Amino acid sequence: MAELNFSNLSKKFDGVPALHEINAQIASGEFVALLGPSGCGKTTLLRLTAGFEHPSSGTIHLGGDKVAGDGHFVPPEERGVGIVFQSYALWPHKSVHANVAYPLEVRRVPRPEREARVAEALALTGLSAFANRMPSQLSGGQRQRVALARCLVFDPRAVLLDEPLANLDLALRASMHEVFSLFHRRTKATMLYVTHDQGEALALADRVAVMEAGKIRQFAAPEVLYREPVDCFVAGFVGDGAVVSAGITGQTRENRLVVNVFGQEVLSRSATTEPSHVCIRPESITLCNDAPIRARVLSCTYLGGRFRLTLDAAGETLVAFASQRAAIGETLGVKLNDLWAFRDPGAAV
C-alpha cells in the first residue's frame, strides 16, 4: 500500500476548471472520503489518480513516485490502483471466480498462486460459496462485493471507489458499510472513496475531504468536520443544524468567545478571534421553558427513543432532539451552549 499526494493539482475541460489547486496528502493505509455535491470534481480527482485523465497542472505522487504532472505520465495499467465503480463493470459472461481471477491473468500470475489469491479474495468478501455463479445470478450487493474482490486480488497500491453504493437500496447500503470497513481493516488498503452522502463519509472514513466547485474546503477527521467546520459550506453540508451569523461581544479568561446569537450572549469555541458565524448542532440545544430564546416547533418526528424537532428561532431553522413529543406551533425555550464559531467572510447567509 502506498501514500497518495496531490500537489497544486488542477484540471480544466475545454478551458473550464473542474479542479482547482488541489493539495492533499493521504497516508498509506488511510481511508479517505471525497464528499461534495454533484459536479464538484470528485470523479475527476479519482480519474486523474487512476490515470484516465491528464492534469492541466500540478502533480500526483503515488508511493513516492510521480505518476502525473511535470511531463510525467504513468499509464493506468502501470499505476497498480484498483477501481470500483457504482456500475459494477463485471464481465457478464464470466463467472464470479473468472471475474476475480482476471486481473491476475492479465498480470500473468502463475495458476497455483492465482488460485490461492482468488480464494483468499472471495473469502474476504464473503463470496466463497458464489464462485461459480454468473453476475446475472447475484444481487446488487453481491455484485459490488465481486468488484471489490476483483480489485483487491492484485494487491493494489491504492483502491479508488466512485459512489460504489449509489445503485443499492438503503438497507443494503448500511450492510455494505460493514463490508467496506472490514475490507479496509483486513487489507490496510489506502482508500479513496467518493460519495455525495455525508452519512456514508462520516461513518466510513478516517478523514473526509469536503469539496465544493473544484476545491477542497476542509480535510479533517469526521468529528472535526462536524464539531469544527471552517466555513458555512462545510457547516451546512456536514451534519444537522443551523448556521447563523453572530457577532463577538467578548472573551472569557479560558479563551472562550462570547458571541451574540438571537440577541443573547452565548459561550463559543473557535479557532479565530473574529468569527462571523456560529454553527448550532442539535447537541448544543437544551430545551427549557424559561430560556430567553423562543422558538416555534415546525415539525416533530419520532426516531425511536427520541424525537427530532425542527424549530423556528428568529427566522432560522434549528434542529433539536427531545425526549418528549412537542406540538407543532408550540413555543419552546431554547438554551444554547458550547457553540462553534468561525469566520466566513465570503458567506451569503
Binding site for Mg ion (CB under 5 A): 43
Q: Considering only 36-44, 218-226, 271-279, 324-332, which stretch makes contact with ligand ADP by CB under 6 A? A: 36-44
Alpha-carbon gap, residue 170 to 136, rounded angstroms: 21
C-alpha distances in angstroms, 37 versus 198, 235, 266?
Answer: 10, 14, 32
Tell me how far, at minimum, the Cβ of 207 lies from Mg ion, in Å. Answer: 19
C-alpha distances in angstroms, 146 versus 63, 101, 197?
Answer: 26, 11, 23
Of 9, 32, 43, 146, the residue at the interface with ligand ADP (CB under 6 A) is: 43
Residue whose cell numbers read 477542497: 216
Tell me how far, at minimum, the Cβ of 42 lies from ligand ADP, in Å. Answer: 3
- The verdict on 41 binding ligand ADP (CB under 6 A) reads yes
Tell me how far, at minimum, the Cβ of 18 lies from Mg ion, in Å. Answer: 11
- Kindly tell me which of 43 and 142 has the beta carbon lying closer to Mg ion: 43
Q: DSSP string of 219-243?
A: EE-HHHHHHS-SSHHHHHHSSSSEE
Tell me how far, at minimum, the Cβ of 113 lies from ligand ADP, in Å. Answer: 36
- Kindly tell me which of 191 and 242 has the beta carbon lying closer to Mg ion: 191
Q: Which long-range contacts (CB under 8 A, 24 or more apart) does 26-30 make?
A: 26/190, 26/192, 26/207, 27/3, 27/190, 28/1, 28/2, 28/3, 28/63, 28/190, 29/1, 29/188, 29/189, 29/190, 30/3, 30/190, 30/191, 30/206, 30/207
Given a contact cutoff of 8 angstroms between Cβ atoms, the answer to whether 159 and 49 are in contact is: no
Tell me how far, at minimum, the Cβ of 200 lies from ligand ADP, in Å. Answer: 14
Tell me how far, at minimum, the Cβ of 103 lies from ligand ADP, in Å. Answer: 25
Alpha-carbon gap, residue 92 to 77, rounded angstroms: 22
Q: Is 284 exposed, middle or buried (0-12, 13-18, 19+ CB in 10 A)?
A: buried
Tell me how far, at minimum, the Cβ of 197 lies from Mg ion, in Å. Answer: 12
Q: Considering only 38-46, 79-87, 117-125, 166-174, which stretch makes contact with ligand ADP by CB under 6 A? A: 38-46
18 is in the binding site of which of ligand ADP, Mg ion, none (Cβ under 5 to 8 A by kind)?
Answer: ligand ADP
- The verdict on 38 binding ligand ADP (CB under 6 A) reads yes
With CB under 6 A, what is the number of residues at the site for ligand ADP? Answer: 10
Tell me how far, at minimum, the Cβ of 98 lies from ligand ADP, in Å. Answer: 31
Alpha-carbon gap, residue 191 to 157, rounded angstroms: 9
- The verdict on 289 binding ligand ADP (CB under 6 A) reads no
- The verdict on 18 binding ligand ADP (CB under 6 A) reads yes
Collect all residues with Cβ–Cβ distance below 8 Å to 172 and sequence separation of at least 6: 139, 140, 141, 165
Of 13, 111, 249, 251, the residue at the interface with ligand ADP (CB under 6 A) is: 13
Q: Considering only 33-41, 125-133, 199-207, 330-338, which stretch makes contact with ligand ADP by CB under 6 A? A: 33-41
198 is in the binding site of which of ligand ADP, Mg ion, none (Cβ under 5 to 8 A by kind)?
Answer: none
C-alpha distances in angstroms, 333 versus 285, 290, 313, 330?
Answer: 10, 6, 10, 10
Of 8, 23, 25, 39, the residue at the interface with ligand ADP (CB under 6 A) is: 39
Neighbour count for residue 174 (Cβ, 10 Å): 14
- Kindly tell me which of 161 and 297 has the beta carbon lying closer to Mg ion: 161
- Kindly tell me which of 195 and 284 has the beta carbon lying closer to Mg ion: 195
Q: Which residues pair with 309 in a beta bridge?
A: 300, 320
**Residues engaged in binding ligand ADP (CB under 6 A):** 13, 18, 36, 38-44
